[in-house]
Amino acid sequence: MRSLRDEGHVWRAWTGRSRDVAVGLRSVAGASRERGLPVMEVRRYDEHGSIEESGTWVRVRNDSWQRCNE
């Protein structure tokens, strides 16, 4: 797994059983302040570098994240 910092994002990439996977994460400071909990924007990319899926997630417990309603 490889990690790169670019424009406030942390990137992770790895090879899965059927394809390569890349994910970009970025902390959302304003939403984190509003909720009083850590909030992250998550983007999943396809093998061509296009965004396949994105969403905002909030940490509801130390070991659990929940997708925000958008």
Entry pTM: 0.73
Does residue 49 lie within any of the structural domains? yes
Tell me what pLDDT residue 2 has: 40
Domain annotation covers residue 10:
yes
Res 1: pLDDT: 37
Could you tell me if residue 69 is inside a domain?
A: no
Residue at token pair 């509003």? 34
φ, ψ for residue 4, nearest 5 deg = -130, 140
Measured between alpha carbons, how far is 6 from 33 in angstroms, rounded to an integer?
A: 23
The pLDDT of residue 11 is: 77
C-alpha span between 32 and 20 (Å, rounded): 30
Domain-located, residue 16: yes
- The kind and range of the H/E element at 55 are strand 51-61
Q: pLDDT by residue (tens digit) across 16-51?
A: 777 778 888 999 999 999 999 999 999 988 877 888
- pLDDT at residue 18, rounded to an integer: 75
DSSP structural state of residue 7: T
